[in-house]
A = this chain, B = another copy of it.
């Protein structure tokens, strides 16, 4: 923990009381909470990290955020901003260190600007994926948003500044956003790109502006509170067609990846193709197969192999989508077929018409196509939706993998003591690296008694993001600690092999504590705008 943060933790209760009084004066009583039950909930995540959170503030405007930060500075109380608080698997809404007051931005949920013509929307941090989706649908817009699987309640802006990704060609959320308004730790407001100039017309459209481009500084950082952002939207293509493939050969990954790379580089695959291993697919379909496993954990590879045959999925299972006109899609389909020939056991294409058909006639459809949709339809539908930017809570179900008993009606992994940690290394988009990264994950996670559920996302033209999830039941004694050891060992092995994560959970921030000159540079910058170190201390900080 950085020294300044330690000092903040040891703050005098009296200065906290004074700060709370000031915050109440600024925001009103109803927007400041020190309710112990609420604070305890806020301080809980899906793994064994808790945070002492002295209070929760709910600013309603940029001016409120500025006031909150001025007060925080005056009293030396650190604050930690959250947009939606749905940072599942990375710490939910936990600050990196103890003693931070939460700056909950959910009340700032206005959609400030929208252009159907130029295909963008300007949002505040509290705007959720579900809200934006409804906004577009209500207007009969022909524009698509890009969604993550983090549920309709997740913040659009929050995911973007965390550099999350989704499933359409606009999957790089930070790469499709610009024109940030940021409140710095000292309460000053900066606008990025052309926004700093009066009456600039291209602010929501052009990232760089003129002069140094500073947007990146406000992603994965503690340099400021982003209070506004323009997000680019994708014009709906004439047609979108999902594809699904599976490879039954456990050793087939390398050839598969190398076959897909040219298509990704050439832009035939415009969106991020996802490839999941057997464990990943299984955790998407159902909870832990306690019966088949005889109540034992981890789930042995042999049992998963048997389930593969029974449930009709492969060692590696891919999904993605093609976008464009009928002709463009037909051509992409041809190229994909040619590339995957001999490398996959099954390649299926699915459009909206086929999906509706499948829903209505699952049985006849199986007879017609030979493909059993009955078990996978529940899994396929939300994935198909994500490929068109439709938010869903479906992926959250896999957080309950090791929980016994049925899923609750309303999913809440924090409350339900689901154990979940994600480690997401970036790999070069080559078969060799995909295999090496996956082998490390499979070996390490099994060795620690968990199931290596792995997805490999062809995130950019040249990289794979492999998201490795470690899921457990926090109610099983000892598993919290085992999971933590597993996480630490895996991160250690991956980075030792040159595979660094694209994003960190609050439990992994120590990776940044690396004595390099970038850290020194960032520390100098931080000192220049946050000398008391009151903004999100320890977050992505060396």
> Chain A: residues with CB nearer than 8 A to chain B?
117-120, 163, 169, 174, 184, 188-192, 194, 196-197, 199-202, 205-206, 208-221, 223, 232, 235, 237, 261-262, 265-267, 270, 324-325, 327-328, 330-331, 334-335, 426-430, 433, 460-463, 495-504, 511-512, 514, 516-522, 524-525, 527-529, 540-542
Contacts and interface: CB of A to CB of B under 8 A. Distances in A.
B208 A462 contact: no
A528 B526 CA distance: 10
B217 A500 contact: no
A387 to B, nearest CB: 16
A212 B223 contact: yes
Given A206-B462, A463-B202, A265 B235 contact: yes
B266 A267 contact: no
Given A206-B463, A462-B120, A214 B518 contact: yes
Given A503-B210, A524-B528, A118 B196 contact: no
B214 A217 contact: yes
Contacts of A520: 188
Contacts of A496: 199
Contacts of A120: 462
Given A266-B237, A331-B331, A517-B188, A232 B194 contact: no
A540 B462 contact: no
Contacts of A194: 426, 500
Nearest to A459: B206
Given A119-B462, A327-B327, A520-B188, A502 B220 contact: no
11 contacts: A188-B517, A196-B518, A197-B495, A199-B497, A200-B498, A210-B540, A211-B221, A212-B216, A212-B223, A524-B525, A528-B528
B428 A205 contact: yes
A216 B214 contact: yes
A223 B518 CA distance: 13
A235 B426 CA distance: 22
Given A197-B495, A235-B265, A428-B205, A522 B328 contact: no
